[in-house]
Structure 1
Amino acid sequence: MLLQGKTVIVSGVGEGLGREVAVAAYEQGANVVLGARTEKNLVKAAAEFDEARVAWAATDITSEQACRNLVDLAVGRFGALDGLVNVAAQDQVFGGVADADFEDWRKTYEVNVVGTLQLSKAAIPHLARESGTTGIVHILSQSMWLPATEVKQAAYAASKGALLSATYGMAKELGPQRIRVNAVVPSWMWGPMVQGYVSWTAASQNISEEQALAPITSRMALPEMATDGDVANAAVFMVSPYAAGITGQSLAVNAGDFMR
């Protein structure tokens, strides 16, 4: 198992990717510590695991104290911290720059950049090692490289680009403490959010869901888009000791939608 006996924090645990990351880490032997703003999502997710290997706390990552509390919970409950996967994000701001409400942009950056880095900062003292390595993984978005045409989310894309830059800087900064910092970069991924989008598009245009999906999948090298679970598996690999020699990298999980 990739994470046998390790302890990993996962932020943004809801119905989609955050839950999938927690499940994948747990199935690879980890103790999982779950954070999210919505307590009912945490209760539901935690019920899937052996209570001896799970802990959770309602966590708003824009609060430094809440970030410290989540890290303290992990260390207090399981004695150590070996990894952090930053999934929590704000993605509900739509449109481009010409029509931007920059107050909404600031809120997006406060979560996606500042909040993510606050949680990472809280974890750093507990991730430092004298031998072996530990890992931080940021979940980013292909839209920072290739703007989406179906849904315009300039604020979200720009915030993820900023976090990619931070990934590189953190990898260099924290390498001497044996902390690896990497990014996993999904494109469209099949899960609750995309399922909802496809259903809405089909209904609003009076077409089948297959027809709604076709313009997206037709540009991918593989016949189907990656799933939330595929992205979660990549994150678990990157945070695990199997990726001991990898830092400052971005791993795209996109079924060949975009190659670089």
Structure 2
Amino acid sequence: MLLKDKIVIVSGIGPGLGVKLAIEAAREGAAGVVAAARSQEKLDDAEARVKAINPNCKVLKIVTDITDRAQCEALVAATIKQFGRIDALVNSAFVHGDMDYVSSANLDAWAAVMNTNLIGTLKLTQSVLPQMKLQGGGAIVMINTMAARTPPPLGEAGYAASKSALANSAKYLAKEVGKDNIRVNSIHMGWMWGAPVEGYFVWQAQETGVPLETLKAKISSTIPLGRIPTDDECARAALFLVSDYASAVTGAALDANGGSYMP
């Protein structure tokens, strides 16, 4: 079990990767999963699904807006009170924003995207650092995107800009806190088959009249593995980075996209 007895905070619990991170952490033996999201309903769903996988995994649910530092600090304080330590932070919370292009984007709208994806993520990250230093170490992973590596056909300029800034910040942070035995890594996802992407394909099929399986096959043909990775698979790759098996890895960026992007 990759995360046996560890206490793991997962931000951005939602219907896709977020909840799968919590579920897979429990499957890998985490003693406690701290689930953070803006919606109580999503947290309740995550708890039920975690308990179905690992009844012995304790779940702490905290409604949290990561753009609010006080809420980030309250989340950390509640985690310490409940579990006494924080072994891992998985930063999954994000706002996608508009499907836009740099040449024509409403740049004022980028502020909300930056405020969550970069500033909010770093607020929560800064909040866990004192406890990780006190206990002698910890691990942090930033959920990132292939769009920050190479421009996609669809416009995602604002989202990619925020995630690119986060990727660079993760490298700086890794260098700053390495002496404290705190590891910081990034993982870049591409297409992930799960509820959000399936919903997108359903919508596309309705709009275009092209069967869902045909649309899915077209995307799959561009991926070296020949299929769209599932969000379960991508969650497990992310959790590897906060496990002891990655104890020598910090400041790295892992691509979990079936080979769609190869640096």
Same fold (TM over 0.5): yes
Q: What stretches of structure 2 of length at least 5 have no aligned partner?
A: none
In structure 1, distance between residues paired with 2:15 and 2:101: 27
Cα deviation, 1:18-56, whole Å, max 9, x if unaligned, reads 100001111111110000011110011112324861101
Tell me the equivalent position of 2:182: 179
Runs of 4+ in 1 over 3 A off after TM superposition: none
* Alpha-carbon distance, 1:258 to partner: 1.3
Query: Greater shift after overlay, 96-105 or 42-51?
Result: 42-51
Given the alignment of the two structures, is residue 76 of structure 1 paired with residue 72 of structure 2, yes or no? no
In structure 1, distance between residues paired with 2:237 and 2:57: 25
For 2:78, the aligned partner's letter is: L
Query: Greater shift after overlay, 184-193 or 96-105?
Result: 96-105
In structure 1, distance between residues paired with 2:142 and 2:113: 16
In structure 1, distance between residues paired with 2:159 and 2:177: 26
Change (3 A) 1:130 1:34: closer
In structure 2, distance between residues paired with 1:40 and 1:113: 25
In structure 1, distance between residues paired with 2:56 and 2:249: 32
Given the alignment of the two structures, is residue 59 of structure 1 paired with residue 64 of structure 2, yes or no? yes
* Alpha-carbon distance, 1:129 to partner: 5.8
Q: Is the 8 A contact 1:130 1:178 kept in 2?
A: no
Cα deviation, 1:179-228, whole Å, max 9, x if unaligned, reads 00001110011011110111111111111112212332111111211110
1:206 corresponds, among 201, 209, 215, to: 209
RMSD (Å), alpha carbons: 1.3
2:218 corresponds, among 202, 215, 220, to: 215
Q: Is the 8 A contact 1:129 1:179 kept in 2?
A: no
1:196 corresponds, among 195, 199, 204, to: 199
Query: Greater shift after overlay, 172-181 or 233-242?
Result: 233-242
SS at structure 2 position matched to 1:96: coil
Tell me the equivalent position of 1:41: 42
Q: Is the 8 A contact 1:93 1:108 kept in 2?
A: no
Tell me the equivalent position of 2:141: 137
Identity over the aligned pairs, expressed in percent?
Answer: 38
TM-score with structure 2 length normalisation? 0.95
- Within 5 A, what are the aligned runs for 1:94-243? 94-128=99-133, 133-149=137-153, 151-243=154-246
For 1:47, the aligned partner's letter is: A
TM-score with structure 1 length normalisation? 0.96
Q: Is the 8 A contact 1:129 1:178 kept in 2?
A: no
